[in-house]
Amino acid sequence: MQKYGYVRVSTREQNEARQLDALAPYEIPQKNLFVEKKSGKDFDRPVYKRLKKRLRSGDLLIVKSIDRLGRDYDEILEEWRHITKEIGADVLILDMPLLDTRTKGRDLTGTFIADLVLQILSYVAQTERENIRQRQMEGIAAAKRQGVKFGRPALPLPDNFNEIHKAWREKKLTLKQAAMECKMPAGTFYSKAVRLEKAEK
């Protein structure tokens, strides 16, 4: 059985020493310590991938806290399943003793409790994401009711727009030519022309 440690910090924070100190009592061989400076938004991380290739059945992966493993609980659940079920390794999260698949010698209870805790964390994280999204939508709706404008203000039409628009509608100019005359992309010219025509009706 091999012990492995995984430490992750973002490039904005330089506190890997705190995580390494937490792992020190477990006497993990230096060659089995994997330190990564990478965002935890997903698991597309080179050091983490190298670590996972080294894991074998019966090995133990130690991480200080669950957010060092990752930030997306749906993805954490998938990684947890892969490590514990497919590879057959154990996982120990130091800040959350219930997340320890070694409990009572890898018996069903220990695995069940760890899986259950992860499911609850995933549910709470998903609920919070939905609550944040709902609050944002309600805030935007309230601001719009109060007359707050979102997005960049529309640029004024060029002085020659009406003249070029008329020539384009009379097929004297192609869409591309009309857009070039107005110094704007063809799609922008077309959408502004349609909007103008609707306003004039």
pLDDT along the chain (201 residues), means of 10: 92 78 94 89 88 94 88 83 90 87 62 77 72 82 78 78 91 91 90 83 63
Determine the pLDDT at residue 7. Answer: 93
Domain assignments of the chain as residue spans, ordered by start: 3-126, 161-200
DSSP for residue 152: P
Asked if 50 and 23 count as a contact pair (C-beta separation under 8 A), the reply is: no
The verdict on whether 122 is a catalytic residue reads no
Question: Ramachandran region of residue 3, left (φ > 0), alpha (ψ -120 to 50) or beta?
Answer: beta
Catalytic residue (one of 10, 39, 65, 191): 10
Which one of 3.40.50.1390, 2.40.50.140, 3.40.50.970, 3.40.50.300 gives the CATH number of domain 3-126? Answer: 3.40.50.1390
Determine the pLDDT at residue 43. Answer: 84
Instruction: State the distance between the two ends of the chain, measured CA to CA, in whole angstroms.
Output: 78
Determine the pLDDT at residue 20. Answer: 92
CA distance 121 to 95: 14
Determine the pLDDT at residue 29. Answer: 94
Determine the pLDDT at residue 134. Answer: 85
Question: Ramachandran region of residue 79, left (φ > 0), alpha (ψ -120 to 50) or beta?
Answer: alpha
